[in-house]
Each structure stands twice: as C-alpha cells, then as structure tokens.
C-alpha cells in the first residue's frame, strides 16, 4: 500500500513538473507584453467564427496570436489539415496561418476526399510547393499531437479555447475568454495591469 501511494505521488509530481517545464505555454511570445493564445480545430465551426475576431484584435492592439492545433477526434479531416498547415508553417508562419484562415473560410466545402486538392490550390495561389507526401517522417504529425497533448495537459475541453495572456510573473498572467464579446475589454484590462 505504501509503495502504491509513493507511485501515485510520483506520477502527480511528474505531471506537475511537465506543466512547469513549459511556463511559456500561456504567455505571449518573447518581447510581447500581451498576446492571445488559442487552441483550435480546423474543422470546428465555432473556431471558424472566432478566427476573424482574433485577427481583428491582433491588428487593433498590435499583439500576437499564438495558435495551437487541437484537432478533435470526432472531426474526420482536421488532423490532416493541421499537418498541412504545419507544412506551410515551414515556409513561413504567415503562410501556415493563411492556410488555416482559408480552411476556416471554406470549411463547409472541405471533405477528407478533397482536402488535398484544396491544399494544392492554396499552394499554387501562393506560389508554394506541396510535395506528394507532406509528412514522410511523421514530424509534422508529431507537432500536431504535441499541441493536442499540451492542450489536454492544461485542461482544454472545447474549441476554440482562447486566452488573453501577459508576460507578467505576478498576479494572474492569463485569463480565458469565455464570452468573446468581452475580448477587447479583457485585452484592455491586461494592458493596464
């Protein structure tokens, strides 16, 4: 019994340490005072509705948006779309995010069968290459899985999950945006602190 308690204590300690190892998870990128962190699924209709608002807030406040992939198991093409977005990220984060935004705009038209064709058209329109095999070694899929695992570790249970985050180390360095109509007020409040 004592050994079992020790095992549970060690598991809890390692889980806490895993989260503590990456304190930047809910922080803006280095050099930014405030930012937005979002965990999104490219097949999620609510994520598609939220994306333009996040982009608008980023432009108005000149703050970064950090996007994490959180493909839900119930969506049949979102994981593959996230892998393709990661491929475009290699050329530039702007190109990868542009692909994500195009996916959101055309979400209702995309199926598992035509996702590749959609990605090929996007690549051609942006003078980018899309290889026949996008992720031959599975490295991009591992990045998507790592994002999803990170979200799970910090308790994400829906998409989109949006946070306004600050670089401060005291007080509350992040707040979840539960009501998107309050996004700008939350950013204002974080900027004042």
* Domain of residue 68, residue span: 2-192
State how far the Cα of 113 lies from the Cα of 91, in Å rounded to an integer.
25
* pLDDT for residue 185: 96
Q: What is the CATH number of the domain that holds 65?
A: 3.40.30.10
What contacts 141, CB < 8 A, 6 or more positions away?
79, 83, 135
Q: Which of the residues in the chain have pLDDT under 50?
A: 1-23
* pLDDT for residue 18: 39
- Collapse the DSSP code of 66 into the 3-class scheme (helix H, G, I; strand E, B; otherwise coil) and give the result: strand
Q: Counting Cβ atoms within 10 Å, is residue 16 exposed (0-12), middle (13-18) or buried (19+)?
A: exposed
Tens-place pLDDT, residues 105-121: 999 999 999 999 999 99
Domains in the chain, number: 1
Could you identify the residue written with the tokens 């004592």? 2
> Model pTM?
0.84
């Amino acid at each position: 019994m004592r050994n079992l308690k020790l095992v549970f204590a060690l598991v809890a300690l390692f889980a806490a340490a895993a989260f503590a190892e990456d304190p930047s998870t809910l922080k803006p990128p280095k050099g930014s005072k405030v930012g937005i962190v979002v965990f999104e699924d490219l097949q999620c209709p609510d994520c598609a509705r939220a994306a333009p608002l996040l982009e608008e807030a980023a432009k108005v406040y000149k703050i970064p948006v950090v996007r994490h992939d959180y493909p839900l198991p119930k969506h049949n093409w979102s994981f593959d779309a996230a892998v393709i977005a990661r491929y475009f990220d290699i050329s530039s984060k702007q190109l990868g995010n542009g692909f994500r935004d195009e996916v959101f705009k055309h979400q209702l038209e995309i199926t598992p069968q035509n996702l590749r064709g959609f990605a090929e058209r996007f690549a051609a329109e942006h003078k980018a290459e899309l290889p026949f095999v996008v992720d031959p070694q599975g490295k991009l899929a591992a990045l998507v899985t790592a994002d999803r695992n990170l979200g799970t570790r910090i308790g994400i249970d829906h998409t989109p999950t949006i946070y306004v985050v600050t670089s401060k180390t005291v007080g509350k360095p992040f707040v979840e945006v539960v009501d998107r109509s309050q996004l700008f007020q939350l950013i204002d409040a974080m900027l004042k602190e």
